Every structure is written in structure tokens, then in C-alpha cells.
Structure 1
């Protein structure tokens, strides 16, 4: 899998690069995106168009989630955000300052998601 970098001068410590390669070696991982604290992609293993779309949407969503948490408790902070659909899981590691890491993974097990019917919500 070819790795792409948006800023050739951006260098990771060898341990960070090894971690990225190890994560990407998992067959369920579809890609990783690293973005700076301004929402600009710094590194991706995905197509450029997909990267920019995902990065901009998740950066905005993560900041809204962080703001909501701080509205509830000003001393707290968002550290990670996990989104799951029927087929994929997206994990965002969102430090207050620094590089955001976004990992996209296929879900292996097809555990059915229970959906409530209209009658289950009523306790009468």
C-alpha cells in the first residue's frame, strides 16, 4: 500500500512511522489520515479527494463534539471520537493541540444492530 504525504518535509519519529505501518498492515484498516489543528491533511493512505472530504467533515464534527463537551463541563475535553455504521468504524484521536489521527476500518463481525420497533418504546 503506497503512503502519501501532503507535506514532504513533515517527518515523523521512526516509532510513529512504524506504528502507522503496523496499523495499515491490518487487513480491516482501509486508511489513516493525519490532520493538523487547522484541519489540513498532513498524511494519508487514501485518495486525495476522499482524504479532503473526510478530513474536513470529521474535523468540523470533532470540534462541535469538543465544544458540546466543554459546554457540559468546562474542565473536560474530548480525547477520542468513535463512529460506527453497519459496515465501517471511524476512530478520531483528537488532542487539544497537535495532530488529529483518523482511522477507517471495515467491521469484520456482522453483529446485528437491534432496532426498536414503535411498540417497544411504549411501556403501557
Structure 2
């Protein structure tokens, strides 16, 4: 039983590292936070206190969004949350293992 748990932990760590590496390569990334199932930051470009604060605020926002979605359609689920300001864009993507939060520069890439 302990060995199975350790193998699962190694798979999850490698999954986190791979996701982090792929995101880090994208242009205009400012910050990355990866949360475990419990909502705790496990890897981040932010200082630990900031990552904890940011993930806590995300938890509140996610609960409110899910509550609203349930009222609209009880069978629907949150796949991605995108919040954009003039300067930044925050993309939040939960899955069954981790939640990925990315802050990026909100540049318009459309050239007219």
C-alpha cells in the first residue's frame, strides 16, 4: 500500500514538472502556480506567501463561479476560468490531479 502511494506521488510530481515546463516555455508568462487537489501551491514562480494568498483567493472565486454555474445548469462543470485586465490575464484550469494558474501579459496579438 505504501509503495503504491509513493509511485502515485512520483507520477504526480513528474506530471507537475512536465506541465510547469510546458507553460514556462510560452511567451509573455509572468507567473505560474500549480495547486494540488487540496488547493495548496506545490510549484510556483511566486514567493511562497504570495502563492498561498493567490491560491486562496482563487478558491473563493472558483466556489462562486461553480455556484453560479450550478444554478444555470447543474450538469455543467468548470473547465477554465479566464480573467483579463488591461495589463494581465489570468488563466485557471482545474483537472482531476492539479489546478494550473497562469498570469500572462495581456497583449493583443492581432496585427491590423
Residue of structure 2 in register with 1:42 after alignment: 42
User: Which residue in 1 is equivalent to 2:6?
Assistant: none
Counterpart-to-counterpart distance in 2, 1:23 and 1:40:
19
Q: CA RMSD in A?
A: 2.4
Structure 1 runs, 4 residues or longer, greater than 4 Å off: none
Could you say what secondary structure the match of 1:11 adopts? helix
- 1:102: how far off? 0.3
Q: What is the DSSP-based 3-state SS (H/G/I as helix, E as strand, rest coil) of the residue aligned with 2:61?
A: helix
Contact 1:24 / 1:30 at 8 angstroms: preserved in 2?
no
Query: Counterparts of 2:99 and 2:41 in 1: how far apart (Å)?
Result: 9
- Alpha carbons of structure 1 residues 66 and 42: separation in structure 2 relative to 1, 3 Å: same
Alpha-carbon distance in 2 for matches of 1:29, 1:37 = 23
- Tell me which moved more, 41-50 or 81-90: 41-50
Of Structure 1 and Structure 2, the greater helix share is in 2
Whole-angstrom distance in 2 between the partners of 1:98 and 1:21: 17
Greater Cα radius of gyration, structure 1 or 2: 1
TM-score w.r.t. length of structure 1: 0.69
Please say if residues 62 and 94 of structure 1, whose CA atoms lie closer than 8 Å, have aligned partners that are also in contact. Answer: no
Cα offset, 1:75, TM superposition: 0.8
Q: Could you tell me which runs of 5 or more consecutive residues in structure 1 were left unpaired when the two chains were aligned.
A: 1-8, 112-124
Q: For structure 2, list consecutive stretches of 5 or more residues without a partner in the other structure.
A: 1-9
How far apart, in 2, do the equivalents of 1:31 and 1:51 lie?
10
Counting matched residue pairs gives: 101
CA distance in 2, matches of 1:18, 1:98: 13
**Normalization by structure 2: what TM-score?**
0.76
